[in-house]
C-alpha cells in the first residue's frame, strides 16, 4: 500500500516545491503541451471557442482539477495501493488562478470527493507560475444566446433531458465526456437524431476527450471502478457554464432510483455502490460553485421520478421511442467482446434492468440476454447476480413497505433535504423497485 501525490504542472518551467511525505509516491502531471492544455482539455476549449464560448479562469482551473482527479481515480489501483483493498490516500497539488477562492472551496471539495469515491483526498492549491495567469484566452465581446448546460452522456436519461429542453426551446449547450467506444458512439448517434428532429432549435454540443497513460503512476496498475468520474463530468459542465457569461443552470438528468442507488444487498454499502448523482453529492457541488463565486447552479430535474416515469413524461415520447435504441445504458458494454459480440447492452446489469423496466412495451433496444424467462439464471454468474439481488430487495420492500424511509439513507446522508423531499425519495425508490419488479415477474434464478 502506498499514498500517492499528483502534482499538476503548467509547462516545463513550472517546478514547484511540493514536499513528498513518508510512504508517498509522487507523480508529476504536465497539464500543458505545445498545443495548449493537455489530455483533451484543449480540444474541448477549441470546440467551445467555435461557438464564441471561453470559460473564465476559474473554469479552466476546474478542468485542470477534474483532469487530475480523473487521472488519480483511473490510474491508481485500489487492489495494490489501498490498505483495505478500497480506500486510497490521494493528495493533489494544483496551480490555480485565484488561491483565495479555491481555499474557500477546498473543504467542500475534499468532502465531496471522499463521499463520491470512498477515498481519502487532500487537495492543495498554489499560485500559477509567472506567465500563466491566463490560459483560456480572451473572451468574445458578444454574449451567446445559449441558455444553459445539459450533461449529455449518451444514456437514455440524458437523451430525455435533451429532448425536454429542446421541446421547451431552452437552447442548451450539451456537454459530454468522450469515453469508451459504445458510449461515445451513442453520443454521436443521439446528437445526430436530435439535430434532424429539431433543425430550427438553437443548441450546440461539445465533448471532452480525455485519457491518461496506464503508467502515469510508475509501477502501479490502472483502476476500473471509476467512482470519481462524475467529478470530471460536473467540472466540465460548470466550466462550460462559465463561458456563457451569464447565470446558468447545469442540468444533470438522472432518474431517482439510480441517483439514490440504494444498495440492493448489505455488502454494497457506501462508495461500493456508485454515488455519481446522489443528492448529497450534488448539494456539495452547489456549495463548491458558490464558494468559487461562479454565477450558476446545478440540478437534477428528474430526481423524484423513476426511469419509466421519465419515459412516459418525455415531451416527445413517440420520437424518443424511435431513437431510444441509439442511447446506451449498460454499465460495461465492452464486456460483450469477451463473448465474441459487438459492444452493446448486456441486459442483466443494474442499469440494463432498470432500462428494460422503463419501457415495458415497445422497447427498441437489443439485449445480449434477450429473454430473461427462457431459463433459470445462474445467480453465481454475472447473468443472474443483479437479477437475484433485485428480487431480494423487491421482496423485502413488499414485506415491509416502511423500510423505504430507512433504506434511502443507506448510500449516504440526506440531511440537506427536508422531510418532504426525503418522503418523495422514499416514494421514488419504492416505485422504482416496483417498476423493476414487474419486469422480473416470473424470472427464475438458481441460488448460489
How many whole angstroms separate alpha carbon 74 and alpha carbon 414? 28
C-alpha cell at 389: 439481488
pLDDT for residue 343: 77
Distances (CA, A) of 419 to 261, 405, 416, 425, 426: 19, 10, 10, 10, 10
Quick one: how far is CA 392 from the chain centroid? 27
Strand partners, 250: 149, 298
What confidence score (pLDDT) does residue 272 get? Answer: 61
- Residue 69, C-alpha cell as written in the block: 482527479
Cβ atoms within 10 Å, residue 213: 10
Which residue stretches of 297-381 are H helix? 307-313, 317-323, 350-358
Q: What is the DSSP string of 391-425?
A: HHHHHHHHH-GGGHHHHTTTTS--TTS-HHHHHHH
Contacts of 268 (CB under 8 A, 6+ apart): none
Parallel, antiparallel, or unpaired for β 248-251 and 204-209?
Answer: unpaired
* pLDDT the model gives residue 181: 62
Do strands 3-9 and 24-30 pair parallel, antiparallel, or not at all (unpaired)? parallel
1 CB neighbour count, 10 Å cutoff = 12
Q: Are 3 and 22 in contact (CB under 8 A)?
A: no
Give CA–CA dist 444/44, Å, rounded.
Answer: 47
Q: Of how many residues is the chain composed? A: 448
pLDDT of res. 218: 87
Identify whether the C-beta of residue 182 lies closer than 8 Å to the C-beta of residue 326. no
Are 234 and 252 a contacting pair, CB within 8 Å? yes
Summary count for the chain: helices (H), strands (E): 15, 13
CB atoms within 10 A of CB 338: 7
Give, as one character, the DSSP assignment of residue 346: -
DSSP for 137-197 reads -PPPSSPP---EEEE--SSHHHHHHHHHHHHTT--EEEEEEE-SHHHHHHHHHHHHHHHHH
**Pairing between strand 172-178 and 296-299?**
unpaired
Q: What's the CA gap between 196 and 146, in Å, rounded?
A: 19
Q: Is residue 349 within 8 Å of 359, Cβ to Cβ?
A: no
CA separation for the pair 20, 32 (Å, rounded): 23
Helix axes 181-197, 156-167, angle to 10 degrees: 20
CB 83 within 8 A of CB 119: no
382-399 and 350-358 are packed helices; what angle lies between their axes, rounded to 10 degrees? 60
* Under-50 pLDDT residues of the chain: 271
Q: Which residues contact 364 (CB under 8 A, 6 or more apart)?
A: 321, 322, 324, 325
Q: What is the per-residue pLDDT for 35?
A: 85
C-alpha torsion 382→383→389→391, nearest 10? 180
For the chain, the domains span 330-446
pLDDT of residue 213: 87
Amino acid at each position: 500500500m502506498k499514498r500517492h501525490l499528483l502534482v499538476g504542472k503548467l509547462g516545463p518551467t513550472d517546478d514547484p516545491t511540493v514536499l513528498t511525505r513518508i510512504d508517498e509516491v509522487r507523480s508529476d502531471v504536465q497539464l500543458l503541451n505545445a498545443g495548449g492544455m493537455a489530455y483533451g482539455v484543449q480540444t474541448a476549449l477549441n470546440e467551445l471557442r467555435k461557438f464564441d464560448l471561453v470559460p473564465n479562469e476559474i473554469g479552466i482551473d476546474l478542468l485542470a482539477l477534474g483532469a487530475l482527479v480523473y487521472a488519480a481515480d483511473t490510474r491508481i489501483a485500489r487492489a495494490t495501493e489501498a490498505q483495505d483493498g478500497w480506500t486510497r490516500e490521494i493528495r493533489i497539488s494544483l496551480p490555480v488562478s485565484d488561491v483565495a477562492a479555491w481555499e474557500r472551496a477546498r473543504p467542500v471539495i475534499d468532502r465531496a470527493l471522499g463521499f463520491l469515491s470512498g477515498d481519502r483526498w487532500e487537495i492543495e492549491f498554489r499560485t500559477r507560475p509567472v506567465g500563466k495567469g491566463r490560459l483560456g484566452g480572451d473572451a468574445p465581446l458578444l454574449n451567446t444566446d445559449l441558455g444553459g448546460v445539459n450533461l449529455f452522456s449518451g444514456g437514455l436519461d440524458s437523451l430525455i433531458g435533451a429532448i425536454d429542453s429542446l421541446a421547451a426551446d431552452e437552447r442548451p449547450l450539451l456537454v459530454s465526456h468522450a469515453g469508451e467506444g459504445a458510449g461515445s458512439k451513442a453520443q454521436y448517434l443521439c446528437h445526430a437524431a436530435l439535430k434532424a428532429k429539431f433543425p430550427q432549435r438553437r443548441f450546440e454540443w461539445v465533448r471532452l476527450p480525455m485519457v491518461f497513460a496506464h503508467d502515469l503512476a510508475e509501477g502501479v496498475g490502472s483502476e476500473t471502478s471509476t467512482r470519481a468520474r462524475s467529478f470530471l463530468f460536473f467540472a466540465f459542465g460548470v466550466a462550460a457554464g462559465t463561458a456563457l457569461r451569464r447565470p446558468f443552470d447545469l442540468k444533470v438528468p438522472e432518474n431517482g432510483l439510480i441517483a439514490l442507488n440504494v444498495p440492493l444487498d448489505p455488502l454494497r454499502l457506501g462508495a461500493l455502490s456508485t454515488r455519481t448523482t446522489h443528492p448529497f453529492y450534488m448539494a456539495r457541488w452547489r456549495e463548491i460553485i458558490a464558494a468559487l463565486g461562479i454565477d450558476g447552479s446545478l440540478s437534477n430535474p428528474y430526481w423524484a421520478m423513476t426511469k419509466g416515469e421519465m419515459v412516459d413524461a418525455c415531451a416527445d415520447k413517440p420520437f424518443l421511442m424511435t431513437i431510444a435504441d441509439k442511447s446506451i445504458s449498460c454499465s460495461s458494454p465492452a464486456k460483450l467482446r469477451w463473448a465474441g459480440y459487438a459492444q452493446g447492452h448486456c441486459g442483466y446489469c443494474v442499469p440494463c434492468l432498470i432500462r428494460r423496466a422503463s419501457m415495458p412495451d415497445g422497447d427498441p433496444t437489443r439485449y445480449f440476454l434477450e429473454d430473461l424467462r427462457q431459463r433459470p439464471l445462474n445467480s453465481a454468474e454475472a447473468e443472474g447476480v443483479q437479477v437475484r439481488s433485485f428480487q431480494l430487495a423487491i421482496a423485502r420492500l413488499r414485506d415491509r413497505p416502511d423500510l423505504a424511509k430507512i433504506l434511502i439513507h443507506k448510500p449516504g446522508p440526506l440531511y440537506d433535504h427536508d422531510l418532504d423531499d426525503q418522503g418523495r425519495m422514499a416514494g421514488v425508490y419504492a416505485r422504482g423497485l416496483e417498476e423493476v419488479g414487474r419486469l422480473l415477474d416470473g424470472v427464475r434464478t438458481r441460488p448460489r
